[in-house]
Amino acid sequence: MLSLLEQYFGYTTFRPLQREIMEHCVAGKDCLVLMPTGGGKSLCYQLPALMFPGMTIVISPLIALMKDQVDALTANGVRAAYMNSTLNAQEITRVEADSIAGRLRLLYLAPERLAIPSVLHFLQSLNVSLFAVDEAHCISEWGHDFRPDYRNLYALRHQFPGVPFMALTATANERVRDDILTQLKLTQGRVFQSSFNRANLTYRVEPKKKTFDKLVAEIRQRPQQAIIIYCFSRKETEKIAADLRANKIDAAAYHAGMTPKERTRVQDRFIRDQIPVIVATIAFGMGIDKPDVRLVVHMDLPKSVEGYYQETGRAGRDGLASDCLLYYSAGDRFKHEYFIREIEDRAEQARVRRQLDEVTRYCELKTCRRAFLLAYFGEAFPHTYCDSCDICRPTPTVAVPSASPREAAEDYDTELFEQLRAERRTIAEAQGIPPYMVFGDKTFHEMARRFPQSRESLSHIFGVGTEKLAKYGTRFLRIITDYARAHDKTEDTSATPTIVRAKKPVRATVSTSITETVQACNAGKSLESIALLRRLSIGTVLQHLEKASSQGITIKTDHFPFPADRLNRIAEAFKKSGNNFLTPARDSLGADYGYDELRLARIILRNGRAT
């Protein structure tokens, strides 16, 4: 796993809980992952996808989230794709063909697509190793972002009974967690919960007095840094964005009243560092993987603590210090109360009002804000004060825009840092990708601190994987070496490993569950007996045998009865289609031949039984 982590993602260590989650997943077991935004949830299924023999299907709620993750994976050399409404029929056909041919490791789908029979039919033709349900709080009616289509995911458990599920979310209290476990039938799975403490974030609440003047001052202390400003209404986003532009601050509004084309344009400009400030309703931000947002401002009272935590979580995803600022007035409650009174369902009305009470209590705290947020998610803060909220440190401070708490004391060359950022922007514009997909600010901090002078040294910098070293190494090394020569800088080798071990090729492994199925098969048991013994469906037994066979494990098939004439016809259908894919063969043979029969025939033919 460490070899894959360094090769594809450029990291040399795992974050807390990541390795345990991945090992559990690779063993073919269900789990629920509760991890804060920026904690590394996506990697928990992306890296195992490189180890599985089959595909990982990711259920993702937003088009922007899919595109960001697929673009980032592709930039790292991982074969991934998505299927959503932005693709035309020809593009969807190409993605399906790549999936069936085994050319993809991950495929992202929206939950709405799973209601389409042809999509389910397509999934059943694949060798699926894992279902990852991202933003899993959307499945719960008690969550802050309920999506009815998520409720239909339980059907996948019946159609793919032997395939493990991983559900992931950054915002779930105890009630929402229980709902996720129940809805996805994960009650036998393991719950992994990492700390919800975002140590790099500073939390502040300030009274609504001369708010716009204070906002301008905050932005001007972070020139050209990425900033998100959340407002209650569409009208307010337009006004604040216009007022900021009048003060020579490059800002754009974003809200649901804009056309999809307008929203996409604004979002893309923000992600690509072409506009630093976005003024938005809460319609903006979910699924945006931009790691270098340095300030998140709430101009109005949020609806819930969960929503507030998720929105502030968009700051500092790269681990560098960032600020979360909320302007509060007790009168803000009345805006929400108006809409709450319009809710006809009394139980729902009471639930929404309780959420409002909690977030109001947060704003009026006299004790540590960090401790309150952690307690809300069931976690105790082990210290008496956090030193990074306005209660624990009353004097307002602005977080250093480009240093994490750990790195604040470590100097780096800001001039070189800006040169590296400028080169990144040039590369990103030429390739049509967001700048952070080239390298993140954290990577440039380390380059501008250590001045690597060779490709070997550069390969040990945080975030520089094999693929990116090959793509971009020469360009950034040239900048660093030229700058070091001109300013008489030498390479800092103190952090470079003195012992380097050759990377060994990582072989995909089969889980213990698959091994047990193979052992039963090779002992001469029938498919029905194996299914009964292992408490699996026959379809899952066949998937296990195929996975093992694809890894070169011998499968004994002589004891499986199979009419010679039907086996011959299936073999001919595979030959005629030019491959061993199930769907083309079944289309040729007709509905009289089922997928389980085709799978068994494919196993028999692969293991050498004559036709």
Return the structure tokens found at 301.
């009272």
pLDDT (mean) for 474-491: 94
pLDDT given for residue 192 in this prediction = 93
- Residue 355 pLDDT greater than 60, yes or no: yes
Dist CA 597 CA 566 (whole Å): 10
Per-residue pLDDT tens over the stretch 94-109:
999 999 988 999 999 9
Q: Of 140-154, 440-454, 558-572, where does mean pLDDT reach its minimum? A: 140-154
First to last CA, the chain: 41
Residue 389: its pLDDT value, please? Answer: 94
Give the pLDDT confidence score for residue 578 in this predicted structure: 64
Range 252-281 average pLDDT: 90
Q: What is the pLDDT of residues 501-518, one digit of tens each?
A: 334 444 445 567 788 889
Integer Cα distance of 370 and 174 in angstroms: 18
For the cut 50, the answer to whether the pLDDT of residue 39 exceeds it is yes
Position 165 pLDDT exceeds 60: yes
Distance CA 82, CA 104 (A): 10
Q: Would you state the pLDDT for residue 483?
A: 95
Greater model confidence, 395 or 433: 433
Place of tokens 């997928």: 595
What's the pLDDT at 73? Answer: 92
Q: Is 396 a residue whose pLDDT tops 70?
A: no
Confidence of residue 498 (pLDDT cuts 50, 70, 90): very low
Residue 227 pLDDT: 96
DSSP state of 559: T
Cα–Cα distance measured from residue 497 to residue 457, given in angstroms and rounded to the nearest whole number: 9
Share of the chain above pLDDT 70, in %: 91
Helix (H) or strand (E) holding 130: strand 128-133
In this structure, of 2-6, 335-339, 360-364, the range with the lowest mean pLDDT score is: 335-339
Band (pLDDT 50/70/90 cuts) for residue 144 is low
pLDDT for 229 equals: 96
pLDDT tens-place string over residues 62-77: 777 788 889 889 988 8
d(CA 72, CA 91): 20
Check residue 268 and give its pLDDT: 86
**What is the Cβ-side half-sphere exposure of residue 180, based on CA atoms within 13 angstroms?**
29
State the pLDDT at residue 82. 96
Structure token pair of residue 586 = 């079944």
Residue 149 is given by DSSP the state G
Instruction: Calculate the average pLDDT of the chain.
Output: 86
Q: What is the mean pLDDT of residues 160-172?
A: 89
Given pLDDT bands bounded at 50, 70 and 90, which one contains residue 1?
confident
Six token digits for residue 577: 């289609």
Is residue 513 within 8 Å of residue 535, measured between CB atoms? no
Interaxial angle between packed helices 527-534 and 512-522, expressed in degrees from 0 to 180 and rounded to the nearest 10: 140
Distance CA 57, CA 147 (A): 19
* Of residues 64, 73, 69, 71, the one with CA closest to residue 433: 71
Q: Is the pLDDT of residue 321 over 50?
A: yes
The Cα-based distances of 45 to 23, 57, 132, 453, 546 in angstroms read 11, 10, 7, 34, 22
Tell me what pLDDT residue 348 has. 82
What mean pLDDT is predicted for residues 175-194?
A: 88
pLDDT for residue 596 is more than 90? no
Q: What pLDDT was estimated at residue 48?
A: 95
